[in-house]
C-alpha cells in the first residue's frame, strides 16, 4: 500500500462511503422528480392564458376592464340574434320595416356589450386616481420620518398608522413585509407591483435604484413626492381645462334631441296631417303623403348614432382615452332610446 493510499485512509477515517442506490430506489426517485415536474408545469399553466381563465374566471374578467368583453360581447350577440330570429319567425321579414322592435334589440345588445366595460373602467380609473393622489403625501411623510433619525422600517411602521385613503391597505402591507425581515428595496418593488399604476411603478423604481446606489434616501423620497405631485397636478389641470369641451359635446347632443323633438311634434306632424287630409279629399297639392313613422325612425337612428359617437369623443377629449367615453356613450344612447320610444 502506497503513501497516497495511507493518506486517503487517514483522511476518510470514520466516514462511511455512500451506499449506491438500488435500481428500485432509483426508479422511485425518478418517479418523484417526474411527479414534481408535472405539478410545476400544471401550476405554471394555470397562471397564464386559458388555464388561468378556467381556474380564476372572475379574477381574469375584472383584471382589466376590456377583459369583460369576453363575456359581454357574446351575450350581446345572443340577445340580438335571438331577438332577430324570434321577431322574423313571428311576424315575417316585413317586421324590419314596420316596427322598431329590431332597433330596440340592437340598442339593448350594444348596452349589454359596453356598460360592463364602462363600469369597470370608471372603477379602475377612480382607484388609480385615488392612489396617485395619496402617493406624494406618503413619500413626503416617509422622508420626514427618516430625517428625524428613524430607520426606514420604523418610519414605514409609523406612517402605516396614518390615513391615506385607498393607499392605506397597501402601506400596511408594505409594513408587514418589512416587519418580517424583507429588505426595503424588495418590499418597495412588491409595493409598486401591488399598486399597479404607471406613476407608482416609476416612483418606486426611482426610490429602489437610488437606495441601491447608496444615495440620501430622504432626498430621493422628497424628489419622488415632488414628481408624483407634479404629475397628478398636471393631470388634474388638464382634466379641468378639457371639462368645458366635454360639456359642449353633451349640450350639443341635448340641443340636437330638442330640435328633433320640436321638428317632429310641430312641423312633421302638421305636414303628415295635412297630407293625409289632402289625400282623403282627392286634392292634388305639393305636400303629398308624409310617412311620419319613417321620419321618426330616421331621426331615431341619427340620435342613437350621434349619442354613441359623441360619447366616445367626449371621453377622448376629457380623459384622452376612447374607453373613458363608453360611459358617456352608454348614457346618451339610453337617453336617445327613451326619448324616441316614450316622448316622440
Q: Is the pLDDT of residue 11 over 50?
A: no
Q: Is the pLDDT of residue 6 over 50?
A: no
Q: Which residues of 198-220 are buried (b: 16+ CB within 10 A; e: fewer)?
A: ebbeebbebbbebbeeeeebbeb
Q: Is the pLDDT of residue 46 over 50?
A: yes
pLDDT-based confidence at 249, cuts 50/70/90? Answer: very high
Cα atoms in the Cβ-side hemisphere of radius 13 Å centred on 111: 16
Sign of CA dihedral 198, 204, 210, 212: negative
Cα dist from 309 to 121, 217, 326, 329, 331, whole Å: 18, 49, 9, 7, 12
pLDDT score of 223: 87
Q: 129-234 adopts what CATH topology?
A: Receptor-associated Protein (1.20.81)
CA-nearest of 146, 155, 135 to 202 is 135
Cα atoms in the Cβ-side hemisphere of radius 13 Å centred on 15: 8
Contact 317, 111 (CB under 8 A): no
Sign of CA dihedral 213, 218, 223, 228: positive
pLDDT score of 305: 95
The label of the residue with cell 380609473 reads 125
Name which of 24-28, 70-74, 148-152, 216-220 the model is least confident about: 24-28
Q: What is the mean pLDDT of the chain?
A: 83
Domain spans, the chain: 129-234
Give the end-to-end CA distance of the chain in Å, rounded to a whole number.
114
Which is higher by pLDDT, 210 or 49?
210
Which is higher by pLDDT, 28 or 158?
158
Contact 315, 322 (CB under 8 A): yes
Which is higher by pLDDT, 146 or 19?
146
Helices in the chain by DSSP H: which ranges?
3-11, 23-45, 49-55, 57-63, 69-91, 95-98, 101-147, 152-159, 168-179, 184-195, 198-213, 217-262, 269-281, 292-319, 326-342
Each residue's pLDDT tens digit, 120-130: 999 999 999 99
C-alpha cell at 69: 368583453
Residues 6+ apart with CB under 8 A from 46: 52, 54, 55
In angstroms, the CA 310 to CA 133 distance is 29
3-state secondary structure of 237: helix
CA-nearest of 269, 251, 252 to 261 is 269
Amino acid at each position: 500500500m502506497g503513501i497516497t493510499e495511507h493518506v486517503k485512509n487517514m483522511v476518510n477515517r470514520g466516514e462511511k462511503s455512500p451506499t449506491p442506490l438500488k435500481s428500485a430506489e432509483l426508479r422511485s426517485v425518478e418517479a418523484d422528480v417526474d411527479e414534481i415536474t408535472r405539478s410545476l408545469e400544471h401550476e405554471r399553466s394555470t397562471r397564464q392564458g386559458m388555464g388561468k381563465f378556467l381556474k380564476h374566471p372572475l379574477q381574469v374578467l375584472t383584471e382589466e376592464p376590456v377583459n369583460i368583453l369576453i363575456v359581454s360581447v357574446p351575450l350581446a350577440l345572443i340577445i340580438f340574434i335571438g331577438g332577430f330570429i324570434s321577431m322574423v319567425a313571428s311576424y315575417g321579414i316585413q317586421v324590419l320595416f314596420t316596427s322598431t322592435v329590431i332597433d330596440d334589440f340592437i340598442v339593448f345588445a350594444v348596452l349589454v356589450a359596453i356598460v360592463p366595460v364602462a363600469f369597470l373602467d370608471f372603477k379602475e380609473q377612480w382607484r388609480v386616481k385615488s392612489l396617485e393622489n395619496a402617493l406624494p403625501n406618503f413619500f413626503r411623510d416617509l422622508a420626514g420620518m427618516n430625517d428625524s433619525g428613524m430607520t426606514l422600517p420604523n418610519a414605514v411602521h409609523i406612517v402605516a398608522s396614518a390615513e391615506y385613503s385607498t393607499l392605506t391597505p397597501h402601506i400596511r402591507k408594505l409594513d408587514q413585509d418589512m416587519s418580517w425581515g424583507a429588505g426595503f428595496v424588495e418590499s418597495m418593488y412588491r409595493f409598486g407591483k401591488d399598486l399597479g399604476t404607471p406613476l407608482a411603478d416609476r416612483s418606486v423604481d426611482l426610490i429602489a435604484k437610488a437606495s441601491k446606489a447608496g444615495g440620501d434616501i430622504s432626498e430621493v423620497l422628497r424628489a419622488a413626492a415632488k414628481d408624483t405631485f407634479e404629475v397628478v397636478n398636471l393631470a388634474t389641470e388638464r382634466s379641468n381645462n378639457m371639462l368645458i369641451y366635454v360639456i359642449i359635446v353633451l349640450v350639443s347632443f341635448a340641443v340636437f334631441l330638442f330640435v328633433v323633438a320640436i321638428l317632429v311634434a310641430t312641423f312633421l306632424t302638421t305636414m303628415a296631417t295635412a297630407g293625409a287630409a289632402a289625400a282623403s279629399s282627392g286634392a292634388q297639392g305639393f305636400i303629398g303623403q308624409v310617412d311620419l313613422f319613417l321620419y321618426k325612425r330616421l331621426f331615431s337612428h341619427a340620435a342613437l348614432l350621434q349619442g354613441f359617437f359623441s360619447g366616445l369623443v367626449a371621453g377622448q377629449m376629457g380623459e384622452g382615452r376612447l374607453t373613458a367615453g363608453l360611459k358617456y356613450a352608454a348614457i346618451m344612447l339610453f337617453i336617445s332610446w327613451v326619448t324616441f320610444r316614450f316622448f316622440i
